[in-house]
Every structure is written in C-alpha cells, then in structure tokens.
Amino acid sequence: MLTGRTALITGSTSGIGLATAHVLAKQGCNLVLHGLLTEEEGLQLAEEFSSKYDITTYFDNADLRQASTISALMTRSLSKMKAIDILPAQRRYLCRSQFA
C-alpha cells in the first residue's frame, strides 16, 4: 500500500522520527530524511536506508527555524523525489515566521 509513495520525515535522524522512517521504509515507502546531521552523516544514513529497504532516499539538513529554509527544503525535496505523499506531524521546532 505504501510502495512507491514518498514521505518527508522531519527529525528522522534520531528518536521517534528515525523509528517512523524505519516503519515506512519497511513498507516500501521512499524517504526524504531530515535532521541536523552533517551532510556526510546524512548521506550515509540515506544510503543505509536505500540499501536495507531498496527504496529511494534523499537527505536534507535544513534549519526548520526559518520559513525560507522550510520552503527551500520543500523545493529541493520535490525536485529530487517528484512528490511528497506523506508528511508525518511532529513538533520538534518552532517557527515564529508567517508563511507567505
């Protein structure tokens, strides 16, 4: 049912977000992984998911405290993955800016 769908999971490099990523990947869901890892660490994590679950992955370490970087994260993610079908609700960051 989730095979071929794509999820963007913020905070997916640790804790509940990482657990969510494993659950979705196990069901064939492609992933946009997000977290505050270095680019190298994030790419390694994405490759581990891709190899283990035979899915397409993309890593981004955007700072979600800024509306402009959230917009850029979405633009980059859509460019790489073509669509975001699932966006699990997690509340780890507070953005005080208004979205345009």
Note whether residue 91 is domain-resident.
no
Note whether residue 61 is domain-resident.
yes
Quote the pLDDT of residue 60.
97
Give residue-wise pLDDT tens across range 51-97: 999 999 999 999 988 899 999 999 999 999 999 999 997 655 445 54
- Which residue segment(s) compose the domain that 57 sits in? 6-81
Domain tally, the chain: 1
Note whether residue 44 is domain-resident.
yes
Q: What is the 3-state secondary structure (H, E, C) of the chain?
A: CCCCCEEEECCCCCHHHHHHHHHHHHCCCEEEEECCCCHHHHHHHHHHHHHHHCCCEEEECCCCCCHHHHHHHHHHHHHHHCCCCECCCCCCCCCCCCCC
